[in-house]
A and B are shown apart, each in its own frame.
Chain A
Amino acid sequence: MTTSAGLAALFLEQRPKLLRLLTARLASPAEAEDALQELWLRIDGLTARPIADPAAYLFRMANNLATDRRVATLRRARLETDWVDTRPDAAEHPDAERQLLARDRLNQAQAVLAAMPERMRQAYTLARIDGVSQREIATRMNISLSAVEKLLMRGYARFHLLEGATDADD
C-alpha cells in the first residue's frame, strides 16, 4: 500500500527501469526521457490513494503512456492507426483515401468481431468496449482469470489475422 508520496519515492528508485521500458517502446532516447518527465508530472498530480502493487502500477502507467504517444505519433505520420477519421464529404477533402482506409479497417474489425465465437466476443467486448477488468469478467462469465486471458489472446490473434480465418485474407 502506498500514497502518492510513496509513489514518487518509488518512481525515483525505479527510474532507470522505467526509462528502459520507455526507451524500448519509443523511437528515441530523447522521447523516452520526455515521456518519463510526463510520467513524473502525472504521478505528482495523482491524489493519494492506496495501490496494491505500486511497482506494477508505475510500469503500467509508463507503458500506457508509451502507447498513447505511439498512437499520436502514428496518427501524425498518417500511418495506419486512423481508424475512424470521420471527415465530411470525401470529394471535398484531399484525405479521402485516408478516410477510406480507416473505414475499411473498422469494417474489417467489425467483421472479425462478428465472426468470433460468442464467449470470445463477450470477453473482448466487456474488456475493450465496456472497460471491465479481466478479474471482473472472470466473475461475470464464471470462468478463471487465465481462461479470460486465453479468450482475449485468441481474440486478438483473430484481429491480427493469425488464426480463425475471416473473410479478409491479405
Chain B
Amino acid sequence: MLTTDPIRHETPGPAVMHAAIDWHVRQDALDGQGWEDFVAWLEADPAHAAAYDIVSTDDAARAAALRVAQPPRAANDDAPTRNWRGWAIGGSASAAVAAALLGIVAWPTASAPYEMATGGSPRTIALESGTSATLAPASRIVLDRKNPRLAELKSGSVLFMVRHDANRPFEVRFGSHVVRDLGTVFEISTGHDGAEIAVAQGSVVVDPDGMAVQLSAGDRLKLGSNAVLHSRIVPDQVGAWRNDSISFADVPINDAVTTLARATGTRIRLDPSLQTRRFTGLIRVTGSPGRDIPHFAALTGAVGTRNGDEWVIAPGGAAP
C-alpha cells in the first residue's frame, strides 16, 4: 500500500532514521547554510527523503493526536492540568455557582454541570469513549460530569463527534432547541443572527418533540428567529475551522468567511458586493485574526479591516 506513494518508495534503515530525526529536531536552530546542507542530504538518497517524510509527518500527526487525547480530566479532577492552560474549568462548588448564574434550570437534579470556554484557539474535550466535543475559539459550553450524553451550547461553535447508543441518545441544547444525534459528526453554531446545525456524517434530529426535522450528512439548517432555512454543505467543510490550514473548492464565499470567523473566534461582515462570489483556495489559520483575515481578504482580491468588534471584508479601496 505504501509503495503507491512516490516519497515512501524506499524503506529506510535505522541509521537513516536516526539521521532524519537529527535533522528534524535541529530544524529550529538551522541557519541558511544548515538548510542547504539539509536539502543536499534529502537529495542524496531517496531513502533519506522517505525517512524524513516518515519522521516529520508522524511527528505532526502524533503531536496533534496526543494534544487531543489529553483532555482535562473533568470527571474526577477539578484542577486544570499544566497542558491545558487557557481552559476555564470550574471546581464543583464554583461550577454550581456558575450554573446558578447562568440560569440553568433544565438540568436533571442528579447533574453536576460545569462550564468550558475557549479563548483564541480550539480545544477538544473527550466526553466519553468515542464521543468528543471540539470547541471553536471564543465558544462556551456547559457539560455534565454525571451525564456525558448531554451538553448545552452557550455561545460560539462546537463540532460533536458522537458514538451512537440507541438507549442513551446524545443531546445538545441551545437556546430553546434540542438536537438529538442518531450516530454522527455534527456542528452547532450560535451567532447574532440565529443558530446553525451542519452534519458531516450520520444524522441528527432537531427538536425531536417539536419540528422533528431529520438532517443527514451534508445537510445544514439555519434557525433564525422567525425562519428555518435548509441548505447543503460539503461534509468536509463541517468543522473545518479545527484545522490549521483549510482548503475550499468552489464554495460560496460566505461559507469560507463563516469558517474563518469560527476559526479565529471573530465576527466577519462580508461586503454585499462580494456575497455572490465563490472561493477556491487554501487558507492557513495562525489564530491571529489580524493576520488571518487580511490574508484571506487579499486572496480574494479584497481588503480586510477591523471595525470595532467586527472585521469587514470589502473590495479594495472602498470604505466600508
Contacts and interface: CB of A to CB of B under 8 A. Distances in A.
- Whether chains A and B associate is yes
Interface of A: 17, 20-21, 24-28, 38, 41-42, 44-47, 53, 55-56, 59-60, 63, 67-68, 70-74, 77, 79-84, 86-89, 92-93, 102, 105-106, 109-110, 113, 125, 128-130, 133-135, 145, 149, 152-153, 156-157, 159-160, 162
B60 interface: yes
Given A160-B55, A160-B58, 12 more contacts: A25-B52, A45-B291, A55-B35, A71-B61, A79-B8, A80-B2, A81-B60, A89-B164, A89-B165, A110-B66, A160-B54, A162-B18
Interface in B22-64: 22, 24-32, 34-36, 38-39, 42-43, 49, 52-64
13 contacts: A26-B7, A42-B295, A45-B294, A53-B31, A55-B35, A59-B32, A59-B35, A70-B7, A79-B5, A83-B61, A128-B66, A156-B24, A162-B17
Nearest to B162: A88
Contacts of B66: 106, 109-110, 113, 128-129
B101 interface: no
Contact of A88 (B64, B83, B202): B202
Contacts of B69: 84, 106, 110
Contacts of B68: 84, 86
Contact of A83 (B4, B29, B62, B163): B62
A77 B202 CA distance: 22
Contacts of A145: 29
A42 B284 CA distance: 8
A77 B27 CA distance: 27
Given A21-B35, A67-B60, A129 B70 contact: yes
A56 to B, nearest CB: 5
Contacts of B63: 128-129
A104 to B, nearest CB: 11
A50 to B, nearest CB: 16
Contacts of A130: 82-83
A134 B28 contact: yes
Size range of the interface on B?
Answer: 35 or more
A125 B83 contact: yes
A134 B29 contact: yes
B65 A106 contact: yes
Given A56-B31, A87-B185, A25 B53 contact: yes
Contact of A71 (B6, B57, B185, B294): B57
B130 A53 contact: no
A128 B60 CA distance: 9
Nearest to B184: A88
Contacts of A63: 27, 56
A67 B62 contact: no
B65 A109 contact: yes
Interface in B108-146: 130, 132
A29 B215 CA distance: 43
Contacts of B245: 68, 72
Interface string B173-184: 000000000011
B32 A87 contact: no
B202 A156 contact: no
A92 B245 CA distance: 29
A143 B24 CA distance: 20
Nearest to A150: B25
B59 A56 contact: no
Nearest to A107: B69
A47 B294 CA distance: 9
B201 interface: yes
B21 interface: yes
Contacts of A88: 130, 161-164, 183-185, 201-202
Nearest to B290: A47
Given A74-B5, A153-B22, A153-B25, A81 B58 contact: yes
A153 B23 CA distance: 9
A32 B36 CA distance: 17
B244 to A, nearest CB: 7
User: Could you say which of B5, B25, B52 has the most chain A C-beta atoms within 10 Å of its C-beta?
Assistant: B25
Given A21-B39, A77-B5, A109-B65, A89 B60 contact: no
Contacts of A152: 25
A70 B42 CA distance: 15
B32 A162 contact: no
B299 interface: yes
B88 interface: no
